[in-house]
Structure 1
């Protein structure tokens, strides 16, 4: 992600406020409104931020797309993984056996493996997230990290 959208997203993510106007973002980040405009447009297009406007209000307010933004982002990757699988499978049909074929094959299998873990990962994350929200102490992952 480019620097300004990353800064805007980090600011909104870390803020206690539920929403921010472009003016508030510009002031908080000490940048021009034009810099904010391009950043929020990209973040809205990426579905990381949502633009809301209250009825009768003339100012847009921006908020995080989802309370569980990271699983939302990971879940959106599934179609990309399917596309990569198709590209790599097509590539394998054109490559002669050899080291290049093996590397492309292993790359495809890596993506297939990661995609196959999405449902398990989501289930484990939900349990871990629930524990985080009920615990006063930091919760260690199942792997002990």
Structure 2
């Protein structure tokens, strides 16, 4: 099938076909074009009842000129410290983001967390995140909300700039780990209640009883491991000082 953009003659052919009552399939076949090309062309230019070849051609040419005149987006600012390999840093961020996605975080949320975590300051404003990731403020706002919900970041006020800054704390994973432990404890309580309601001597009740014991065991171990890490962490910080 012919490729390339539709010509003015193609558009005249489309208009004539529509006037004759031909279907998109019939018009596409006569022009040897994909049906999607014809349907998209007609839809974006007023529909079958209002399609005009001249007006459609002018509109398309106008959109093409605007695309050529539009300035290219500014590249993200360089954030690496001297001596760091930019390609290696970029690859690290991609791997970090991919790893966070496998834990269940949406891609944009994972990108924001990666950006904060790999920034030396560990702290950025929403505007700085927008600039670095080249995305909309709404996307950043949604991602920030998700990260705050999981307690992976905290918000602090910058009195000089009157803006909120989003911060990665040294014990971020400790707090996130406790959130996970609380979720497991909630599942344990739910399963225990279910076992009582369904009777733990029945197959369904026994299944929920096993589930309750599992999540209770995991929750307790998560808390113990987190507390042990925190004690070691605080001891190392005190020694280093």
Answer 1 or 2: higher relative contact order, Cα 8 Å, separation at least 6. Answer: 1
Q: Which structure has the greater CA radius of gyration?
A: 2
Specify whether residues 27 and 77 from structure 1 end up closer, same or farther in structure 2 by C-alpha distance, changes over 3 A only.
same
Among residues 162, 170, 184, which one is paired with 1:67 in the alignment? 170
Instruction: Give CA-to-partner distance per residue, 1:65-86, whole Å, 9 cap, x none.
Output: x311111111234443333222
Equivalent position of 2:192 in the other structure = 89
CA offset at residue 125 of structure 1?
A: 2.7
Unaligned runs of 5+ in 2: 1-104
TM-score if structure 2 supplies the norm length? 0.47
1:13 correspondence with 2:134:
no
In 2, Cα distance between the equivalents of 1:43 and 1:122? 20
Specify whether residues 101 and 78 from structure 1 end up closer, same or farther in structure 2 by C-alpha distance, changes over 3 A only.
same
In 1, are the aligned partners of 2:181 and 2:220 still within 8 Å (CA)?
A: no
Aligned residue for 1:60, secondary structure, equals strand
How many corresponding residue pairs?
132
TM-score if structure 1 supplies the norm length? 0.72
In 1, are the aligned partners of 2:191 and 2:212 still within 8 Å (CA)?
A: yes
1:102 correspondence with 2:188:
no
In 1, Cα distance between the equivalents of 2:117 and 2:187? 30
Specify whether residues 123 and 54 from structure 1 end up closer, same or farther in structure 2 by C-alpha distance, changes over 3 A only.
closer
In 2, Cα distance between the equivalents of 1:45 and 1:75? 13
